Amino acid sequence: MDALEGLAKLARRAREESTPVFGVSEAVRLRILSERPQATTLIPLGLFGGLSALAASITMALAVQFWNYMTSPVMELVAPLPEIRLW
């Protein structure tokens, strides 16, 4: 008998082996639940965006007002000196 014939004979016998059964349906269900992408809702994202926009608007308004009242320190150098009455 050839070695390959021996292997074929061994395989014939091996195919009769009974294989274990694990009962994986529950474990599979749990893994699918954990790996399934969660449906993302837009409410928290929208809320965050709205609050950010509000904060940015307030900051902008304050910045514009500040800009209007701000005087440049350079202006003092070129501005005519007020006459000082010496007597």
Give contact residues for other proteins (rule: CB under 8 A): 1-4, 6-29, 31-33, 35
Nearer to other proteins, 20 or 80 (CB): 20
Cβ at position 41, least distance to other proteins in Å: 17
User: Judged by CB, which is closer to other proteins: 37, or 73?
Assistant: 37
Distance CA 28, CA 24 (A): 6
Least gap, CB of 40 to other proteins (angstroms): 17
